[in-house]
Amino acid sequence: MSETNPTARPYFERHIFFCLNQRKNGEACCANFHAQEAFDHCKAQVKQAGISGPCQVRVNKAGCLDRCAAGPVAVVYPEGVWYSYLDNADIDEIVESHLKNGQVVERLLTPAHLGR
Ligand code: FES
């Protein structure tokens, strides 16, 4: 086991987590709003942009992120920026602006008061 080096770069510069939760009881959930399609599209766009992999971006699946009322949602770390998206064009903007260039996409920010 290696020692921790606080000055080392993080393994990934950014993660984007997509809620892909599917509820079976009929309650609203991100999977009912094309979350899987958005995740797949994001993964493909990040790869195509050449920003996928170590020291760059990782696109991750997640279960319920507990902000269902704002779904479908994705969150970008380390900034902790939450997005509510509608379609692939929104995903393209998040990839190009935030994941590639570090600029938050203000128009897609999840309203602060929306939780579960
Ligand atoms: S079902 Fe997606 S945040 Fe809860």
Element holding 89 (H helix, E strand): helix 88-93
Q: Which two tokens stand for residue 7?
A: 């000055």
Classify residue 99: in a domain, yes or no. Answer: yes
In CATH, what number is assigned to the domain containing residue 57? Answer: 3.40.30.10
Q: Is any atom of ligand 1 closer than 6 Å to the C-beta of 73?
A: yes
Atom of ligand 1 nearest to the CA of 20: 2
With a 6 Å cutoff on the Cβ, whether 20 touches ligand 1 is no
Q: What is the CA radius of gyration of the chain?
A: 15
Rounded distance from Cα 21 to ligand 1 centre (Å): 6
Residue 114 domain-assigned?
A: no
Domain count, the chain: 1
Structural domain harbouring 55: 14-108
Describe the strand order of the beta sheet including 14-19 as a list of residue ranges. 57-62, 14-19, 73-77, 81-84
| 1 belongs to a structural domain | no
User: For every one of its 116 residues, what pLDDT tens digit does the chain have, with 9 covering 90 and above?
Assistant: 456 666 678 899 999 999 999 999 888 899 999 999 999 999 999 999 999 999 999 999 999 999 999 999 999 999 999 999 999 999 999 999 999 999 999 999 999 998 88
**How far is it, in rounded angstroms, from Cα 91 to Cα 83?**
10
User: Which tokens go with 39?
Assistant: 């995740």
Question: What pLDDT, on a 0 to 100 scale, did the predictor assign at position 3?
Answer: 60
- pTM for this model (two decimals): 0.92
